[in-house]
Structure 1
Amino acid sequence: MDIAAEKKRLRALALGRRAAMGDERRAEASRAAAAHALAAVGAVDGRTMALFAPFRDEIDTAPLADALRAAGAVTALPVIVARDRPLLFRRWDTDTALVPTGPFRIPEPGPEAPELVPDVLLVPLAAFDRRGFRVGYGAGFYDRTLAVLRAQRSVRAIGFAFACQEVEHVPAEGHDEPVDMMVTEIEAWAVGPRA
């Protein structure tokens, strides 16, 4: 099997389903997923939770960010440093100015926001399977970041997406970093231990 071609096919399939949801359904599903995520992560007071700024028609993390802050969590957003480097994370408060940056124009906190090391990362994705393997957008930012963080300390990775993005099987390569839990608008579940 050509793994790159299969991942490309799965990405297109899942992103097509996501786009077909429509704005109203995406907003409703984002709120439902936020409730599942908050229940699944447990106590967050004082913990650093890295979310992501939604790109195109991704699941909206704003409802979850509000709930996490209300529960005492410190929130952060990823910052792209360079194409082949791990992400870094900067504090994201309700009054933090976000600037669309980089080739994707994804909003990020500026350099004045303190850098943080997250305890939990919400991971964006295009497609996922029940084992916790995911297809990202092809740049490998989260695989690199999770590999570095997991080598340094215990960190939890939670895939956060719409249920329609689930596929039967994501082919895994040696560099792929699975998530520890998946959360959608329908449910949240822990995946098995990493091999």
Structure 2
Amino acid sequence: MTDPADLRDLKNATRASAKALRAEAAAAAGAEASEAVSRRVAGLLAGMPRPAVVAGYWPIGSEFDVRPVLSRLDLDGFTCALPVVAARGEPLLFRRWTPQVPMERTGLGILAPAAGEPEVEPDALLVPLLAFDRAGFRLGYGAGFYDRTLERLRRIKPVTAIGIGFAAQEVETVPRDRYDEPLDWIVTETSALRISD
């Protein structure tokens, strides 16, 4: 069994190199990358009944910008949402989002729909990542928000977790422990990878 301190160090080292790779991929990507991801996500979710709830995220730094994806899904009749950090160590909450919704800074200074917007429970999540592997595991920033959120949602209903990133963010193996929740799909500008059970 891997020592927790060793695993933490390995994850931190992987994060540092993954941030640099993602920044390079984001700088090189054009509008066609956004369109390709939008098309793939829309195709994956096409069979979901409307108004199924799809949660995205407001991009930070060089994260893949899913706002065009959410705008497309909003026009297609989905209920879209963005995450809200309630507190450290807790799962994310989600508030309804449309392009017209007023935004505010919430926990950790992240933009989210204003407090008056209704809370919703996602049927699908678009999940940001620093790195991913073909087993469906992702490396995030280390706070565990998405792992706790997926664990909670999966206890109460079926939910589809779709990691969104650039193809250059793929690594052979993401360092992980028993708390890391796998994704169901990874979508990049070049492919949609279904994770088999």
Q: Shorter-normalised TM-score: what interval?
A: over 0.9
> How far apart, in 2, do the equivalents of 1:177 and 1:190 lie?
15
Q: Does 1:30 align with 2:43?
A: no
Q: Which residue of 2 aligns with 1:152?
A: 156
> How far apart, in 2, do the equivalents of 1:86 and 1:27 lie?
32
Which secondary structure does the structure 2 equivalent of 1:108 belong to? strand
Give the root-mean-square deviation of aligned CA atoms.
1.5
Bigger Cα displacement from structure 2, 19-28 vs 112-121: 19-28
> How far apart, in 2, do the equivalents of 1:23 and 1:113 lie?
33
1:27 is displaced (CA, Å) by 4.5
> How far apart, in 1, do the equivalents of 2:32 and 2:60 lie?
17
What TM-score results when the alignment is normalised by the length of structure 1?
Answer: 0.93
1:79 counterpart letter in structure 2: V
> How far apart, in 1, do the equivalents of 2:180 and 2:25 lie?
28
2:124 corresponds to which of 120, 123, 126: 120
1:94 is displaced (CA, Å) by 1.6
Q: Does 1:129 align with 2:133?
A: yes
2:74 corresponds to which of 64, 69, 72: 69
Question: What aligned pairs does 1:69-148 form with structure 2 within 5 A after superposition?
Answer: 69-103=74-108, 105-148=109-152
Q: Which runs of no fewer than 5 residues in structure 1 stay unpaired?
A: none
> How far apart, in 2, do the equivalents of 1:123 and 1:32 lie?
17
Q: Which residue of 1 aligns with 2:195?
A: 191
> How far apart, in 2, do the equivalents of 1:140 and 1:22 lie?
24
Residues 174, 22 of structure 1: alpha-carbon distance in 2 compared, 3 angstrom cutoff: closer
Which secondary structure does the structure 1 equivalent of 2:189 belong to? coil
Q: 1:30–1:63: 8 Å Cα contact kept in structure 2?
A: yes
What TM-score results when the alignment is normalised by the length of structure 2?
Answer: 0.92
Q: Which residue of 1 aligns with 2:25?
A: 21
Residues 22, 192 of structure 1: alpha-carbon distance in 2 compared, 3 angstrom cutoff: closer
Which secondary structure does the structure 2 equivalent of 1:65 belong to? helix
Q: Which residue of 2 aligns with 1:173?
A: 177
> How far apart, in 1, do the equivalents of 2:30 and 2:63 lie?
8
Cα-to-partner distance string for 1:79-102 (whole Å, 9 max, x where unaligned)? 000001110100001210111333
1:6 is displaced (CA, Å) by 1.7
1:29 is displaced (CA, Å) by 2.0
Cα-to-partner distance string for 1:145-170 (whole Å, 9 max, x where unaligned)? 11111011111111011111111101
Work out which structure has the larger RCO, using CA pairs closer than 8 Å and 6 or more positions apart in sequence: 1
Q: Which residue of 2 aligns with 1:43?
A: 47
Bigger Cα displacement from structure 2, 18-27 vs 58-67: 18-27
Residues 24, 101 of structure 1: alpha-carbon distance in 2 compared, 3 angstrom cutoff: farther
Bigger Cα displacement from structure 2, 145-154 vs 29-38: 29-38
2:131 counterpart letter in structure 1: A
Bigger Cα displacement from structure 2, 135-144 vs 38-47: 38-47
Paired-residue identity, %: 44
